[in-house]
Amino acid sequence: MPTSRHTKNLKSQSLSNDLPSIQASQHTKQVTVAVSYFKALLDFCVEEYSLSRSYLLSQSGLSETDLNDPQQRIAAERYNHLMITTAEQSDDSLLGQNFGAQLGTSAFNILGYLAMSAATLGEAALALQKYEELVSNIGSTTIKHNGATSQMCWQPNQHNDPLNHHIVKLSHHIVEAVFSGWISFGRKIIGFAAPINRIYFCHSKPESTQDNQSRIFDCPVLYNQAINAIEIDKKWLSLPLTQSQQAVYQALLVEAQKAIEKIGQASNSFTHQIQSLIINNLYQGSLSLDNIASQLNVSRRTLQRQLKQQQVNFRDLVEQAKKELAIKLVIEDSLPLTSIAGILGFSEQSGFTRAFKRWTGYSPKEYREVN
């Protein structure tokens, strides 16, 4: 850990070794973290580095009220920005490793208790793989077996900044925090430090890192690799857990599935509501962010904040709504194409034709003929 507890204005050198940028897609699932996980990082940054809590929140585009609901999901970009801001201010090259190493079960909410009550380390790992979205869907976990060894791999998921609409570059501290958290939690639930063969990271070794043997990981660390992975002997997956309770495990499996479904429903319900209002406003020729906010009885700023938290971009929702409405009206064949273009807000038929061809690969006339 850094010995001095003061903030710095200069950027940490380690930030130049971030994970590779990942291309965002309009159809990418909203990428979020549980509020408990975000708060765990925030508390750690405040306590460990004596940083201002209000400053870190403001830099992440959040307020304390955003963290009050335990069911809240925080946009991944806000979590990423908190990690980057703290790295800049603390100059801790091992920020991610240090954060992950001290995480308690509560930070992982129901997933932590589910894994803890499993019969074996392997069963806990499978639970983590299946239900990791309860904590975060920033990345996806896969478990691979190769002879006498096993690898737990973690790959960042695609996402973009919902406010600025640019490709997100994830801090390398995030993947290091994931692995450090896994290792620390795994050691707790089996009761001892099972040896790790090696760890692979896609990112470059931070310049301030002295060697390739991490104190926290206690194993060789290889950088600039094709995958992010922890490699162990496969036999360790059969280790029994110290707090295994199969009755609790089975009950928590049910609750975990319900929680996963609830996350999806909350996100889909919000997006569907906004898209329905967009379509209604298109028909009325009154589409604007201000009108949508007024119809939801919230301010423009509140709606922007809600969209940002849901990792949704208003322009993308408008584009998707226009596409769906265009296809519907073209297939129905009850309106001339010029009228459909006007409903969708195109001043010229040629603009509508270009957009429709981008959406479907056909001109509106061709699409109507084949459908």
Looking up residue 262, the CATH number of its domain turns out to be 1.10.10.60
Token duo for residue 198: 């090696």
Is 99 a residue whose pLDDT tops 90? yes
Question: How many whole angstroms separate alpha carbon 209 and alpha carbon 61?
Answer: 30
pLDDT at 158: 59
- Which of 236, 251, 266 terminates a domain? The answer is 251
Is 49 part of any domain?
yes
Residue 237 sits in the same domain as residue 268: no
Per the structure block, which two tokens stand in for 160?
């973009």
pLDDT of residue 247: 94
Q: Which of 230, 251, 272 is the last residue before a domain boundary?
A: 251
Q: Note the pLDDT of residue 266.
A: 64
> Does 303 share its domain with 360?
yes
Q: Are residues 60 and 102 in the same domain?
A: yes
pLDDT at 142: 94
Cα pseudo-dihedral 236, 241, 246, 249, rounded to 10: -90
Q: Is residue 3 part of a domain?
A: no
Kindly state whether residues 196 and 288 are assigned to the same domain.
no
Q: Give yes or no: residues 326 and 203 share one domain.
A: no
Kindly state whether residue 6 falls inside one of the protein's structural domains: no
Query: Which pLDDT value is given to residue 113?
Result: 94
* 229 φ, ψ (degrees, to nearest 5): -155, 150
Does the residue 311 lie in any domain? yes
**Other Cβ atoms closer than 10 A to 96:** 26
* pLDDT of residue 220 exceeding 90: yes
Looking at 203, 226, 251, the residue that finishes a domain is 251
- If phi > 0 it is left, if psi is from -120 to 50 it is alpha, else beta; for residue 91 that is left
Q: Is 265 left (phi over 0), alpha (psi -120 to 50) or beta?
A: alpha
Average pLDDT over residues 265-288: 79
Same domain assignment for residues 65 and 194: yes
Kindly tell me if the per-residue pLDDT of 335 is higher than 90. Answer: no
pTM: predicted TM-score of the whole model, two decimal places: 0.68
Beta-bridge partner residues of 229: 153, 200
Same domain (yes/no): 219, 263: no
Q: Where are the alpha helices (DSSP H) in 137-245?
A: 172-190
- Asked if the model's pLDDT at residue 11 lies above 70, the reply is no
Asked whether the predicted pLDDT for residue 199 surpasses 60, the reply is yes
What tens digit of pLDDT does each residue of 116-140 get?
999 999 999 999 999 999 999 999 9
pLDDT value of position 120: 97
pLDDT band at residue 7 under the 50/70/90 scheme: very low
CATH number for position 110: 3.90.1520.10
Average pLDDT of the residues in 86-97? 93
Instruction: Provide the number of structural domains found in the chain.
Output: 2
Give a yes or no: residue 137 inside a domain: yes
Instruction: Tell me the range of 45-59, 62-76, 153-167, 198-212 where mean pLDDT is highest.
Output: 45-59
Answer yes or no: is 303 within a domain. Answer: yes
Q: What is the mean pLDDT of residues 18-32?
A: 46
What local confidence, expressed as pLDDT, does residue 39 receive? 95
Question: Higher model confidence: residue 259 or residue 167?
Answer: 259
pLDDT digits (tens, 9 = 90+) for 164-191: 444 467 899 999 999 999 999 999 999 9
Strand bridging mode 149-156 / 229-233: antiparallel
Question: Residue 163 belongs to what domain range?
Answer: 13-251
DSSP annotation string for 205-228 = PPTT---SB-TTT-SBEE-S-SS-
One domain, residues 320 and 217: no
Does residue 212 carry a pLDDT above 60? no
Q: Would the pLDDT of 15 be above 60? A: no
Same domain, 175 and 246: yes
Q: Is 306 inside a domain boundary?
A: yes
Residue 348 belongs to a domain: yes
Kindly state the tokens that stand for 33. Answer: 């973290």
Please, which pLDDT band fits residue 100 given cuts at 50, 70 and 90? very high
For residue 258, report the phi and psi dihedrals to the nearest 5 degrees: -65, -40
Using the predicted structure, report yes or no on whether residue 267 has a pLDDT greater than 70: no
pLDDT given for residue 316 in this prediction: 86
At 298, is the pLDDT very low, low, confident or very high (cuts 50, 70, 90)?
confident
- Is 171 in the same domain as 319? no
Looking at every residue in the chain, the average pLDDT score rounds to: 84
Q: Do 241 and 119 fall within a single domain?
A: yes
Question: How much of the chain, in percent, has pLDDT values that exceed 90?
Answer: 50
83 and 22 share a domain?
Answer: yes
Alpha-helical runs (H) found in 222-363: 246-284, 289-295, 300-309, 314-332, 337-343, 349-360
What average pLDDT does the segment 233-257 reach?
95
